[in-house]
Structure 1
Amino acid sequence: MKRVWCLYRVSTKSQVNLEDDIPLQRNACINFIHKQHGWTLCNELYEKGISGWKTKNDDRDALLTIREGAINNEFDVLLVFMLDRLGRREDETPLVISFLHDCGVEVWSVQEGKRSIESHIDKLITYIGFWQSSGESLKTSIRVRESKKQLSEQGYYQGGIPPFGYKLSETNERHWKDSSRRIKRLSICIDEADIVRIIFDLYVNQNHGIKRITSYLNNNHFKTRSGKEFHTSLVSRILKNPVYIGYKKYNSFDSEKEGFQPYNEKLCIIPNEMYEKAQKIRKSRNNKNQLQDKSNILTKGNLMFSGLARCYYCNSKLTANYLYRNVLRKDGSTYKKVIYRYTCPLNKGKDTVHEQYVWGAKKYDKIIMDEVKKLIESIEIKKLINTTEKNIKSTVLDSLEKNLRDLIKELRRLKNQRWLLSEEIIKVIENKSHFTSEQIGEAIELKEKEIISSEQKISDLNLRVKLFKETASKINGREILDWECLFEEADNDRKKAMLANLINTVQLGRNRVIITFNFFFQEFLENLQKN
């Protein structure tokens, strides 16, 4: 009587059926055993989703079990459907057979019969067989990788989670592997695309950092695809993904290189210019050694040129500073007035180089703004400034109103749940409920807190929508959006961003202000003078 162990292996889990079995190999092996005299099946080992080429023998639990069983003389025959089920590694798999042979175990294959390695020729034939299997696996891998690469280059979707802002849509085109399936392609998800536009607008036009953008989205009740709050990692990935201008990245399967699918206009969510500006900002903020680093342009506070102002004498970046001063009212009472200032951090007022090291923000902000306005009065500045304010405001407003509708819907659901709990109280009184009065009371109390919180969110968002509409109507009602009017209507964040688009640095000295414009604007002015 020969005790038989069977080994079944498939390389991918998609080859395993619903009953968690491997039908083809198992049926063939059992039929083979029935035809042999004196063979009895004692054990069956399964390897599901294990590659015989990529996975080393020491990492395969089934082979370790077989090795231990052979040492303990637990079986006499190891049966597989084909020998390559043992593995496809020409440097390891022949050693498995040799080891089993030394332990007195016969290795059989349904397709190839008994594998003997008693002679030198047998060992050579065994090695050549597994060498061929390894080569076939390598060629299969190359064919699959090249096929996926070519399909990616042609723009076909190759699986994975769609980037934020997109969804999967089935086409009428049949799948090349399975005619019952349809090919899927990426398409724009309108709700998520609106959030992507807001993120780029905050980053490019308002100089918001990634953390501040994340806080803005969460404070305004924007949610991710899974209904959770935003994280900085997701915002960062969105800002550097070229798919939003129609170029989807894919793994080219060549080392660590990345490829790009052909340009697809249907995937465009933001303009090319906005994406390029975002990449320049990202690069400048990551490059700490850049001479003109605007990465720390402040958008909070009352100093209009924080991050742009420099000391005329030592070229150090000026820091924000303030002090309190008691001011006497006409009625004899006093109040504290805040005085904002620019100060040079490298001077303590003791050297002869610095003629001045403190500048009043109110005075010098006005001087600089007057000079800027005087310069741009005679030129068509709107050609240089992003005039998509109206579209951005419309996008933000639509998103805020959608969030408001979702909150109202959620409030209705909570109130309905509270009503059902109230109905349950009657059942408690009639002894028809599975709950106690204390349990129902606690549930109602918790639901009341959720309703109050939801009503507060709706109230806050209603106020935001109202203020947003009032601001939008002032700007959208104008036929011509000239820079000065747009600047006056903007909030502090956008004003600073607009100035940063024009000005590179502002040097402050004693009775001296030197304004250096950005390269593109400076070049524009020079060409204007030549013409």
Structure 2
Amino acid sequence: MHFRKESVEEIIKYDDYPYKVYTRVSTDRDEQISSKENQIDVCRYWIEQHNYEWDDRSVLLDDGISGTVLEDRAAMKYIFSLAEKKEIKMVIFKSITRLARDLKDALYIREILVSNGVRVVTLEEDYDSLYESKASMKFEMSALFAEQLPKSMSVNISGVLAAKARRGEHSGRVPYGYMKEGKYLVINENEADVIRLIFHLYNNEGLGQKRVTYALQEKCKAGEIPPPRKRSNWQLTTVQTILRNPIYCGVHIANRHTTIKVDGRKKFIRNPPEKWTVYEDFCPPIVSREDWEKANNKQTVNKKRKFTPWNELRKLIICGKCGSKMVIIQTHRDKKNGERTYWKYLKCSNFRRAGKDGCVNHVPIKYEELRDFVVENLITFSEGISHDFKKNALEQKERQIKAIKAELKSLETQNKRLLELYLEDQMITKAEFQSKRNDIQAKITNLEQSLFSLQHVQNEKNSIIEMKAVIQELEDREKDLKHVFEKLIDRIVIDPNGKINIYYRFK
């Protein structure tokens, strides 16, 4: 078959050729904000030079999103959905650095788009998937350089911060108890008194972290001490952070944490102590080294720390008052014969952190009783789910799916033949070609929607069968059922009066 190049270009030029211009800025700095307009101008110039009609609605923006985090980029996900539905034919980027700053993500994005018939164009690298072969290394090399740039910047920034730390210069958020004079930390005596009080109550008065928190709340209400910054009252997590921070004995530890990428998202992890950099005498101490070490002594911490039991319903139980997660609190009672009886009950995490200033104290509910209640309700509720579908109904669905697929194949063949009639045989005019092709495309779209609906119903049935199999695991109540609860339950809302509402993941 012989195609006339001029005719093909003419069709593309005047045909409905939907495209998207993707732009991304990662910060609010002036140069980044202006780069959005710059990206659009560069892409618009290319589009008009190639005889496409500019449309402002084609521009999609991921604002304030890092190029190393794909999962948080809503505009890119929208482009994926359009590509899978065959609603776009081309995506234009100013450069690969706007597409992604991670080699794996860049290759993944290109693969998704190209595999769905979408043309990928990056202007600075002069890459166009329409003309580049799969074996071309232009895209891969450009993506690799784009990935190395933020890593090199991170190394340089780390070096600058390390040099500042060696000079005793502070960078970042100023910790409670200090203020900044020039580049250095100095003691804020008003707040430092609170720091000393916390260590005194914990080390010398024998109070646990929660009781220290409640003591601070009372003093704060009475106006004896100031509240923590950006909060109206003291919370348990604030006290815990202060007790563990070595800055209060004058020691600064750098490189304790780092970020890694897991499943397209950044995760904050703790480095092993071998990677830490310790700076002694970094700033004036508020408490002595001995007091800080005593508060962080393993025996002292273990003596005051209560054992946290395993919670199979973790993150599923929600307070009906404030919406915070419910947590398990374990307590015990000593009998006269020396035996110790343990029991676990539920408490709002907000109330646990801040007391009555955070939420309310719920009616006591034992964890074991809640677990039994949930299991019984799951078993009872699941009895209404049936996977005994009528055989003829399933067969009818399968026949419909098969017929639609056959008709879609026939329409694709008609589309190809129509193009031959116009380009090769010249049996029809361009107006006739466009009219007939639009009719065929409309039929294809309707059939694809019908096919999706039928397949979606089939997937729902498969999901029900899968859920029934999961529910069968409830027969063994002694084993860990966390994965079963997560599969079947969306959330469990507990009101302060003890009322329990279970919301399932199925109907």
* TM-score, structure 1 as length reference: 0.44
Task: Look at both structures and tell me which one has the larger radius of gyration over its CA atoms.
Answer: 1
